[in-house]
Amino acid sequence: MSNTDTTSINMAEIFGSNVFNDSVMRTVLPKAIYKSLRKTIEDGISLDAQVAEVVASAMKDWAIAKGATHFTHWFQPMTGVTAEKHDSFISPTPDGRVILEFSGKELIKGEPDASSFPSGGLRATFEARGYTAWDCTSPAFVKDGSLFIPTAFASYTGEALDKKTPLLRSMDAINRQAMRVLKLIGNTSTSRVVTTVGPEQEYFLIDQKLFEERKDLILTGRTLFGAKPPKGQDLEDHYFGQIKDRIAAYMTDLDIELWKLGVSAKTKHNEVAPAQHELAPIFTTTNIATDHNQLTMETMKKVALRHGLVCLLHEKPFAGVNGSGKHNNWSMGTDDGQNLLEPGKTPHDNTQFLLILSAVIRAVDVYADLLRVSAASPGNDHRLGANEAPPAIISIFLGDQLTDILEQIEKSGNALTSKSGGFLELGTASLPSLPKDSTDRNRTSPFAFTGNKFEFRMVGSSQSIAQCNFTLNTAVAEILCEIADRLEKASDIDAEISAIILEIIKNHKRVIFNGNGYSSEWVEEAARRGLPNITTTVDAIAAINAEKNKALMAKHGVLSYIEMESRTEIQYEIYTKTINIEGLTAVEIAKRQILPAVINYKADLASSIGAIESIDGDVSVEKELFSKVNISMKSLSANIAKLEKAIDTAANLHGDTKAQAEAYRDLVFKAMGEVRADADLLETIVDADYWPLPTYSDLLFKV
């Protein structure tokens, strides 16, 4: 289906129709089995083999009825994308027929070869065994004829080789520590704390035919060449603009596919850059939100092709117009329905809120480097610090109301009032007066309080949100642990809570910044405050290997020292490989497409100069153009040679992954920029008919 007529869509029937969710389980599982499985999902009680057998069989019957012929363990290796390997349900019988089988063992455990996934030295290829383990907290689903079972992925020796394992461990950690604190401050109604996440996903859609003419987009996801078009995002006419029919049809299809998978796609709109859009789901628990975000990215790409479009998830597909990010909205919820970051009407006297808020503030300041690296990627290096995305400096926006409360506490030990928003009068009786929020928004802050949650706005559009969330969960767990340790020893709990909040305000107010994060003044101010400003991925990676951060992760059982060290290696390797591919692609396009096109143009220009000269002596215009083309062409050729040499030098730096990544950044990435500058200049002077690549105007406006 692909039309914009949504009148016939039965949303309630579609939603979750391909998901083995709670209501399906309740219908198809015997009562005792259902109860036992719920206990595993909710309390982590280990699953009985017999129960697994019954669940597997019910899952198989349900999946086959939905058209599935295969099952796959679905996992999230360190590549940042998901992996799957499909097995059919068939099992031969002695009489030459088949029966359809799916055992409890097959549900719970898989054994993919681990040697072909990034492991950062954790396993050599001769020790290739790896395991996937069923994550029953994220529901299984049917997609493309297979039953997908969300799983964690580990090595033979039990080290995590994926993004899900530390995320699940971090959810346990923050639950443990938050529960200690809540009990100590007298909360008797809560028995479990979960973190909740709603990621807003930005993306570009371009025409598939044009995409296929660009080797850079095909191989690297971004344009390595392209002069600035006459029109970019200057008129600010795209953000929230009317959605074109073709795009609307895509969005409708996308929503339906996501709803079937139980992804609660909610909001869709045009974004700032031409051809850029956004989708936001309704928030859910961190683990499911992470799985759903992976499904969202995959589905975005798949559905695009049905519409003759290609979805670009790269952080910076086009130079000179905004790139794409992912706003990770994060909060803490309880099983009795509280949002622990909900300030209420009078936050100044909401002790529980102020304590949790303080914990987040301290966590973000102390572990700023770890949060920074959780959003670091070669693609995101183009955004962070450019005037479109938050700076590379981690700071917190709290807004007027909370900042005022913290200032009151700092001055006098406690806060007596909460500023309220009042009403907005629009100056005519025909419009309603609107209740105003207690605080304005700030689009420039990397970590902004937005009413009852924090929005971590640094994450790149193509990244898995697992790392930023297990980092946040663990950092906050650690501070809650410190708080619980103190409260356990305190004789006067209320006095100790006040002391803790006051101390945190004093020690960490440096990380709070409500001003313009895009300004150069902030960069200077942040330096004065001693806040780290880590501008590149290669520099950010060191944080994973820092003793304080390894100790944090090990203490809470999220990642061991060895696992952290392997992840350091993996991040350097990913950087190196990405820039290597980009460099080689740039060479290929420049050498085999751009340079030949310029040579052809130059040759034709030369022969027309000869031809015209015999008729009309004045060929000054042609000669001037010839000379311009000639100069840039020579420079291009020299810079291609320089880039090739840079790639060679960097590629030969084996052995030291850090030094190699640095060389790719300092030599290769830089040389790519020089090649591009020549090529982009040539694009503006060479006859358009000769130019071998679709231009930015084509890509951004012919959708």
Sites of contact with Mg ion (CB under 5 A): 200
Minimum CB distance to ligand ADP smaller for 267 or for 507 = 267
Rounded least distance, CB 278 to Mg ion, Å: 6
Q: Look at residue 65 and give the partner it binds from ligand ADP, Mg ion, none, a contact being a CB closer than 5 to 8 Å depending on partner kind.
A: none
Cβ proximity of 303 and 213 under 8 Å = no
Minimum CB distance to Mg ion smaller for 200 or for 698 = 200
**Nearest to 163, CA basis, from 461, 573, 549, 567:** 567
CA 255, CA 264: separation in Å to the nearest integer? 8
Rounded least distance, CB 94 to ligand ADP, Å: 54
Minimum CB distance to ligand ADP smaller for 362 or for 453 = 453
CA 335, CA 190: separation in Å to the nearest integer? 6
Rounded least distance, CB 190 to ligand ADP, Å: 15
Candidate ranges 120-128, 328-336, 401-409, 527-535; the one touching ligand ADP (CB under 6 A):
328-336
Q: Look at residue 198 and give the partner it binds from ligand ADP, Mg ion, none, a contact being a CB closer than 5 to 8 Å depending on partner kind.
A: ligand ADP
Minimum CB distance to ligand ADP smaller for 330 or for 696 = 330
Choosing from 196, 469, 571, 657, the residue that interacts with ligand ADP (CB under 6 A) is 196
Query: Is residue 197 a contact residue for ligand ADP (CB under 6 A)?
Result: yes
Rounded least distance, CB 85 to ligand ADP, Å: 31
Candidate ranges 191-199, 209-217, 224-232, 640-648; the one touching ligand ADP (CB under 6 A):
191-199
Q: Look at residue 331 and give the partner it binds from Mg ion, ligand ADP, none, a contact being a CB closer than 5 to 8 Å depending on partner kind.
A: ligand ADP
Cβ proximity of 265 and 258 under 8 Å = yes
Candidate ranges 61-69, 194-202, 584-592, 639-647; the one touching ligand ADP (CB under 6 A):
194-202
CA 283, CA 264: separation in Å to the nearest integer? 8
Minimum CB distance to Mg ion smaller for 451 or for 557 = 451
DSSP 577-645: HHHHHHHHHHHHHIIIIIHHHHHHHHHHHHHHHHHHHHH-S--HHHHHHHHHHHHHHHHHHHHHHHHHH
Choosing from 119, 146, 329, 549, the residue that interacts with ligand ADP (CB under 6 A) is 329
Minimum CB distance to ligand ADP smaller for 26 or for 192 = 192
Minimum CB distance to ligand ADP smaller for 162 or for 200 = 200
Rounded least distance, CB 264 to ligand ADP, Å: 8
Rounded least distance, CB 195 to ligand ADP, Å: 8
* CA atoms lying within 13 Å on the CB side of residue 373: 22
Rounded least distance, CB 522 to ligand ADP, Å: 21
- Say which residues have a Cβ less than 8 Å from residue 38's Cβ, sequence separation at least 6: none
Cβ proximity of 585 and 224 under 8 Å = yes
Query: Is residue 390 a contact residue for ligand ADP (CB under 6 A)?
Result: no
DSSP 8-state class, residue 665: I
- Say which residues have a Cβ less than 8 Å from residue 465's Cβ, sequence separation at least 6: 197, 199, 289, 290, 293, 326, 328, 459
- Say which residues have a Cβ less than 8 Å from residue 122's Cβ, sequence separation at least 6: 155, 159, 161, 562, 563, 566
Tally of CB atoms within 10 A around 412? 10
* Runs of H (alpha helix) within 271-422: 286-306, 351-366, 368-374, 399-412
Candidate ranges 32-40, 406-414, 449-457, 614-622; the one touching ligand ADP (CB under 6 A):
449-457
Minimum CB distance to Mg ion smaller for 143 or for 326 = 326
CA 261, CA 139: separation in Å to the nearest integer? 10
Task: Identify the bridge partners of residue 149 per DSSP, sorted by sequence position.
Answer: 73
Angle (CA) 628-634-635 rounded to 5° is 90
Minimum CB distance to ligand ADP smaller for 200 or for 683 = 200
Rounded least distance, CB 326 to ligand ADP, Å: 11
What CA–CA distances, in Å, run from 270 to 37, 251, 258, 326, 442?
42, 11, 19, 15, 20
Rounded least distance, CB 468 to ligand ADP, Å: 13
**Nearest to 606, CA basis, from 583, 633, 579, 638:** 633
Q: Look at residue 281 and give the partner it binds from Mg ion, ligand ADP, none, a contact being a CB closer than 5 to 8 Å depending on partner kind.
A: ligand ADP
Minimum CB distance to Mg ion smaller for 214 or for 457 = 457
Rounded least distance, CB 474 to ligand ADP, Å: 17
Minimum CB distance to Mg ion smaller for 200 or for 539 = 200
Query: Is residue 416 a contact residue for ligand ADP (CB under 6 A)?
Result: no
Q: Look at residue 452 and give the partner it binds from Mg ion, ligand ADP, none, a contact being a CB closer than 5 to 8 Å depending on partner kind.
A: ligand ADP
Rounded least distance, CB 230 to ligand ADP, Å: 30
* The pairing of beta strand 146-155 with beta strand 70-75: parallel
Q: What is the pattern of x (binds ligand ADP, CB under 6 A) and - over residues 333-372?
A: ------x---------------------------------
Choosing from 137, 452, 533, 630, the residue that interacts with ligand ADP (CB under 6 A) is 452
What CA–CA distances, in Å, run from 12 to 26, 142, 157, 257?
18, 18, 45, 13
Burial of 394 (0-12, 13-18, 19+ CB in 10 A): buried
Minimum CB distance to Mg ion smaller for 441 or for 592 = 441
CA 497, CA 187: separation in Å to the nearest integer? 14
Q: Look at residue 522 and give the partner it binds from Mg ion, ligand ADP, none, a contact being a CB closer than 5 to 8 Å depending on partner kind.
A: none
CA 44, CA 56: separation in Å to the nearest integer? 18
Angle (CA) 135-139-144 rounded to 5° is 110
**Residue 122, both tokens:** 């954790």
Choosing from 159, 162, 200, 644, the residue that interacts with ligand ADP (CB under 6 A) is 200
Q: Which of residues 469-498 bind ligand ADP (CB under 6 A)?
A: none
Q: Which of residues 267-296 bind ligand ADP (CB under 6 A)?
A: 267, 280-283
- Say which residues have a Cβ less than 8 Å from residue 277's Cβ, sequence separation at least 6: 202, 203, 204, 205, 247, 251, 268, 269, 270, 271
Query: Is residue 331 a contact residue for ligand ADP (CB under 6 A)?
Result: yes
Angle (CA) 455-313-680 rounded to 5° is 115
Minimum CB distance to ligand ADP smaller for 197 or for 512 = 197
CA 352, CA 336: separation in Å to the nearest integer? 15
DSSP 527-549: HHHT--B--SHHHHTHHHH-HHH
Minimum CB distance to ligand ADP smaller for 281 or for 390 = 281
Residue of minimal Cβ distance to ligand ADP? 198
Candidate ranges 87-95, 197-205, 238-246, 649-657; the one touching ligand ADP (CB under 6 A):
197-205
Query: Is residue 440 a contact residue for ligand ADP (CB under 6 A)?
Result: no
Query: Is residue 453 a contact residue for ligand ADP (CB under 6 A)?
Result: yes
3 state DSSP class of 435: strand
Using only C-alpha atoms, the chain has a radius of gyration, in whole angstroms, of 28
Minimum CB distance to ligand ADP smaller for 58 or for 289 = 289
Residues forming contacts to ligand ADP in the complex (CB under 6 A) are 196-198, 200, 267, 280-283, 329-331, 339, 450, 452-453
